[in-house]
A and B are shown apart, each in its own frame.
Chain A
Amino acid sequence: MLKTEQMVLNMGPQHPSTHGVLRLELELEGEIIVNVKPHLGYLHRCFEKHCEAMTYPQIIPYVDRLDYLASMNNEMGYAVAVERLLDIKVPERVEYIRVIMSELQRIASHLVAVGTYGIDIGAFTPFLYCFRDRERILSLFEKTCGARLLYNYIWIGGLSHDLPLNFVNETKDFLKDFKKTIVEINDLLSYNKIFIERTANVGVLNLESAINYGITGPNLRASGLKWDIRRDDPYSIYDRFDFEIPVGKGLHGQVGDCWDRYFLRVQEMEQSIRIIEQALDQLPEGEITSALPKRVKPPEGQIYSRVENPKGELGFFIVSKGQLQPFRVKVRPPSFINLSVLGELCKGHLIADVVAILGSIDIVLGEVDR
């Protein structure tokens, strides 16, 4: 009798498509996946423990480094949480600028997700188109606050800088050009026959297990649930804007497959454009520094506050003992929780599908490991 045994393949931490330093231990039967074990912690930086030794404003630069592709959204989440703890109301103009920045950042983050997903599937060119447009968003940020990746822009109670001259026009120009890029991406990637073959009906995440695993963000919506914190638990001024929440429809396969998850991000970029356009039109004049507190010293208490990040629900649980430093900061990282479903999705698929599924979940290791 021939004796066969399973092969263990170590994927990562240095691998082109684990999106960072994720290490996957694949148990294989030929090329078919029997089991996937993710190993984490290569990028662990003790974020939560560090927070206990720093004052509230000092934490903001560290928040940037959670999901480094969506720093603005992270800052927004943290600022909103502390402001709720302090019970501050920020000026109108600040709110609008924050929304504009968050949505631009959401587009930038989704562009990385869509572009690198193209690479995972083997198409290199759309990636560079995505990065070309992301570059324009980053230069808008650079003009605003001087940084391109880690901004330290959204402060507790305000912003570090007002918008630069001509920002509104430049952003509008960008959005006009960007709409063409979306059409281009759709032609090259979304409706490409080979791309659909590779992603439709692969890694189907049904709604029940999505909820059980605590999946949030585009991954949850792709499974068919219309759940978006911007609409269902509004923060800042999101309730003033008119936008739709796309959900996965299973156009080329089943609801919740990789194609749905991918395409949902493309649709979300379109919705973000709508929000930015409305915000730019309504942007009021005014002060941005009036609500900045001299000393951030929240009263004793605790708060859990969540925002909709490009990757999902980013929550901050902050316990204050009435000191300058928080007593405890706990992050609910969407990437980490979304990653937990990987093992279930991969079972029975091929090696090539692991790459496709991991890319469609869209994780950032900075946030997974913290």
Chain B
Amino acid sequence: MIYEFLANLFGGDVIASFISGALPFAFIVPFALFAVWLERKVSAHMQDRLGPMRVGYHGWMQTIADILKLIQKEDITATDTDKKLFNIAPVLVFMGSYAAFAAIPFSSAYIGSGIDLGILYIVAVSGLVVAGILMAGWASNNKYSLYGAVRSAAQVISYEIPTVIVILTVVVVVGSLNLTKVTEFQTNRFWDWMIFGGSIAGIKKLILLPFMFIGFIIIYISSLAEVNRTPFDIPEAESELVAGYHTEYSGMKFAMFFLAEYANMFAVSAVVATLFFGGYHSPFGYLGNLIGLTWLVPIEQFFWFTVKGIFFVFVQMWLRWTLPRLRVDQLMTLCWKYLIPIAFVNFLIVALIMVL
């Protein structure tokens, strides 16, 4: 809808495409600023501390101050790095995270690109991040970075398999890869959310319920691994690899990695929310419909979508500050010996239920 609106406004598709494509950026930057602050506050309160308190009320401007500091920092490039790859890598990593936002439906009125292969596209472009990380690790010419990059590649690629299988499970139920359709399938009542079996009538819904729940657990665990968060933060394991693949980066290039990490956190949370928790739908119905202002509905939807996304981001932070970290081999064992077989059996059962 926003795209059509822009196209009419400017009288051309080109400008409308550019603006429509830039809109997620207007979301990601404030979100990242907020999420970094939230992470520091969440961790602080879990650890009996206060966290940032000086810049603004309860330190809410702390991340803005941090960004200003990062902009002023010297951009150090070590002499023995592979300069080209070293400079491309942060951009590529950020691009991978950013491109995923194109197919995420923020509300019924706004989706960057409502393509029919939406979810598949998100999985595909997220895979690009690995290339960027490998580049960063290789170009840094630092053994710790290389270890981080290789671990990250192995991890992200392995954990994409259970993610995709669970996504297929949902797709089998909905019958579409289009994320808007997946969202519409779940209607605006919370008992129709996919985690509760979707908007299917009768006994089938009850039978589906436990399997959808298993699917949700698996995709959430895998999404943690894909964004390199504890207990799967092995690529940047601070106590072993210093900072993993971005050890050698400083200044704005480091900020790019940082931004990409937080953008990615929201992207995976958004996918989980869209697949299992009703996407942009409100759990209680809309105020706009109630008082007869229909233009309010998309804004409410955007609000609910953001709330759901931030809730899952919060859970990621919660886990990060509670759990220790797994070891490389244990990480792979978890994926290949447990998650993939369970996800696969789960998928077969759901498919059978849908056929019968």
Find chain B residues with CB under 8 A from A53 CB: none
Kindly report which residue of chain B lies nearest to residue A349, judged by CB atoms. Answer: B327
**Contact among B49, B239, B328 for A31, CB-based, below 8 A:** B328
Task: State A123–B326 Cα separation when bound (angstroms).
Answer: 10
Interface membership of A198, Cβ < 8 A:
yes
Which residues in chain B, 208-223, are within 8 Å of chain A measured between CB atoms?
none
Which residues in chain B, 318-333, are within 8 Å of chain A measured between CB atoms?
321-330
Contact assessment for A122 and B143 in the assembled complex, using a CB-CB cutoff below 8 Å: no
Choose, from B58-66, B120-128, B229-237, the stretch at the interface.
Answer: B229-237
Interface membership of A15, Cβ < 8 A:
yes
Contact assessment for A119 and B239 in the assembled complex, using a CB-CB cutoff below 8 Å: yes
Kindly report which residue of chain B lies nearest to residue A197, judged by CB atoms. Answer: B330
**Contact among B239, B322, B330 for A125, CB-based, below 8 A:** B322
- Given the known A-B contacts A15-B242, A197-B330, A352-B328, are A129 and B47 also in contact in the complex, defined by CB atoms under 8 Å? yes
Interface membership of B46, Cβ < 8 A:
yes
Task: State A16–B237 Cα separation when bound (angstroms).
Answer: 10
- Given the known A-B contacts A122-B231, A355-B239, are A188 and B327 also in contact in the complex, defined by CB atoms under 8 Å? no
Kindly report which residue of chain A lies nearest to residue B151, judged by CB atoms. Answer: A31
Interface membership of B48, Cβ < 8 A:
yes
Contact assessment for B321 and A352 in the assembled complex, using a CB-CB cutoff below 8 Å: no
Interface membership of B116, Cβ < 8 A:
no
Kindly report which residue of chain B lies nearest to residue A354, judged by CB atoms. Answer: B240
**Contact among A31, A125, A128, A129 for B147, CB-based, below 8 A:** A31
Contact assessment for A125 and B46 in the assembled complex, using a CB-CB cutoff below 8 Å: yes
Task: State A132–B47 Cα separation when bound (angstroms).
Answer: 9
Contact assessment for B147 and A192 in the assembled complex, using a CB-CB cutoff below 8 Å: no
**Contact among A125, A128, A352 for B240, CB-based, below 8 A:** A352
Q: How far is the CB of B175 from chain A (nearest CB, A)?
A: 38
Q: How many residues of A contact B (CB 8 A)?
A: 29
Contact assessment for B324 and A189 in the assembled complex, using a CB-CB cutoff below 8 Å: yes
Contact assessment for B47 and A122 in the assembled complex, using a CB-CB cutoff below 8 Å: no
Kindly report which residue of chain A lies nearest to residue B233, judged by CB atoms. Answer: A122
Find chain B residues with CB under 8 A from A352 CB: 234, 237, 240, 327-328
Q: A: which residues have CB within 8 A of B? A: 7, 9, 15-17, 31, 118-125, 128-129, 132, 188-189, 192, 194-195, 197-198, 350-353, 355
Q: 19 extra interchain contacts, Cβ-Cβ under 8 A, other than A31-B147, A355-B239?
A: A7-B143, A9-B143, A16-B238, A16-B242, A120-B239, A122-B237, A122-B238, A122-B324, A125-B321, A128-B49, A132-B48, A192-B323, A194-B324, A197-B327, A198-B325, A350-B329, A352-B240, A352-B327, A352-B328
What are 19 A-to-B residue pairs whose CB atoms are below 8 Å? A16-B238, A17-B238, A121-B325, A122-B231, A122-B233, A122-B239, A122-B324, A123-B325, A129-B48, A192-B324, A194-B323, A194-B325, A194-B326, A198-B324, A350-B327, A351-B241, A352-B237, A352-B240, A355-B240
